[in-house]
């Protein structure tokens, strides 16, 4: 492009790449979490109206505990029923009965998601720093327009990610 320094184009392209990688990481992490949850609970059905889980053989897992510190509900089937079940080897190795831990928090508030979110935010911050430095070095109107619009877009789309990340971090500190 005429009137734009090659360094500005390369820096903008690299910042754009970092932004795409950050959002791809968010999408892959979310997909991975949902897939793991489906595998972990395969064949089990949750009945919200009775607050219980039903196993593939029709047995009910009742809520037996709630951990307020970790915000975690624990559901368990009776041990005598699980130990006599023909599906036990496929379901659980526990002699106390199959147990399901369920958090009312969404995946965005879990520790693993905070880890992935931290990586994504680091990439976005790196892109913003790169664009800011390049804007200080190159002051042409067209160059500033290209980098400034990319910087504003990055800041605008990353703001919700930052707010969720720091809100979940503050909530985690209150629970300690």
Q: What is the H or E stretch that residue 166 is in? A: helix 141-174
**45-47: strand order across its sheet:** 45-47, 52-54, 60-67, 72-76, 99-102
Based on the domain organization, do 160 and 118 belong to the same domain? yes
Based on the domain organization, do 75 and 130 belong to the same domain? no
1 in a structural domain:
no
Weakly modelled stretches of the chain, pLDDT under 70: 1-2, 104-109, 168-176
Amino acid 111: pLDDT: 75
Domain-terminating residue out of 89, 106, 123: 106
Would you say 27 and 169 are in contact if contact means Cβ atoms under 8 Å apart?
Answer: no
156 in a structural domain:
yes
pTM: 0.68
d(CA 98, CA 88): 8
Based on the domain organization, do 159 and 134 belong to the same domain? yes
DSSP E strand boundaries for 30-126: 45-47, 52-54, 60-67, 72-76, 99-102
**Torsion angle in degrees (nearest 10) through CA of 87, 93, 95, 96:** -90
Give the pLDDT confidence of 115-143 residue by residue, as tens digits: 888 999 999 999 999 999 999 999 899 99
Based on the domain organization, do 130 and 167 belong to the same domain? yes
Amino acid 105: pLDDT: 62
Q: Which domain holds residue 75?
A: 41-106
Based on the domain organization, do 31 and 46 belong to the same domain? no
12 in a structural domain:
yes
Q: Please give the structure tokens belonging to residue 48.
A: 């919200």
Would you say 165 and 117 are in contact if contact means Cβ atoms under 8 Å apart?
Answer: yes
Based on the domain organization, do 102 and 118 belong to the same domain? no
d(CA 99, CA 78): 10
* DSSP per-residue codes, 41-62: TTT-EEETTTTEEE-TTS-EEE
96 in a structural domain:
yes
Based on the domain organization, do 30 and 114 belong to the same domain? yes
160 in a structural domain:
yes
Specify the number of domains making up the chain.
2
Amino acid 133: pLDDT: 96
Would you say 171 and 103 are in contact if contact means Cβ atoms under 8 Å apart?
Answer: no
Domain-terminating residue out of 80, 106, 132: 106
Based on the domain organization, do 18 and 47 belong to the same domain? no
Based on the domain organization, do 70 and 153 belong to the same domain? no
């Amino acid at each position: 492009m005429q009137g734009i320094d090659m360094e500005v184009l390369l820096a903008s392209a690299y910042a754009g790449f970092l932004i795409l990688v950050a959002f791809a990481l968010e999408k892959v992490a979310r997909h991975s979490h949902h897939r793991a949850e489906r595998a972990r609970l395969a064949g089990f059905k949750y009945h919200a109206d009775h607050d219980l889980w039903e196993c593939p053989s029709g047995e009910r897992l009742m809520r037996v505990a709630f951990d307020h510190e970790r915000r975690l509900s624990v559901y368990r089937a009776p041990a005598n029923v699980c130990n006599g079940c023909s599906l036990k080897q496929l379901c659980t190795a526990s002699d106390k009965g199959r147990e399901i831990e369920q958090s009312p928090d969404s995946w965005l508030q879990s520790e693993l998601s905070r880890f992935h979110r931290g990586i994504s935010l680091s990439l976005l911050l790196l892109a913003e720093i790169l664009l800011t430095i390049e804007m200080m070095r190159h002051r042409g109107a067209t160059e500033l327009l290209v980098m400034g619009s990319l910087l504003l877009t990055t800041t605008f789309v990353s703001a919700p990610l930052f707010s969720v990340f720091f809100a979940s971090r503050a909530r985690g500190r209150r629970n300690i």
